[in-house]
Amino acid sequence: MDSSVAFATVPTRLGDVLAAVTEDGVAATHFRDDPRLRRRIADRLGMAAADDPARTAAVREELAAYFRGELKEFRVPIDWRLMSPLQRQVLGTLFADVPYGEVVTYGELAARSGTGVPARAIGSIMGGNPIPIIVPCHRVVASNGLGGFSGGDGVESKRWLLTLEGHLPPTLDWDM
């Protein structure tokens, strides 16, 4: 049987979050859903798209629960194949070692990952994370503030996620 990727969309406060799930697990997420993006992900994976709601059920449920503030740890399997070995080491460290509601600086993550790469390179790896939210690149911050964020609406999406997780206090315009 040929390998395939199944897609699901989860409506959230930050937009319709797309999840791409292979037989091995979640391979990609994105803050927007778009047919061209689905094709690009399927092409990068070298897989045909499949309609498989059963395969995407767990990630749909977990993402929805996370955005409701009810899920603190994702348990869906991760398919790391879209990452280089260096990305896998850094993002795997982030996934395993930085729990809900906590943050780490770019420099601290560089040290924890044991890769020897500078903090600036950690920022580039976060920007290339194919599985944001589940592999929580929003939890990596600059030593003097939030730092950047390439997902969703940029730093405002990062701020929203960190507020959801209780790391930042709600602002006057906080709306779930």
Active site residues: 137
Residue type, 162: L
| 143 SS3 class | coil
Six-digit token string for 23: 């037989």
Helix (H) / strand (E) element for 4: namely strand 4-12
Taking the C-alpha atoms of residue 133 and residue 15, their distance in angstroms, rounded to an integer, is 13
Burial class (CB in 10 A: 0-12, 13-18, 19+), 163: middle
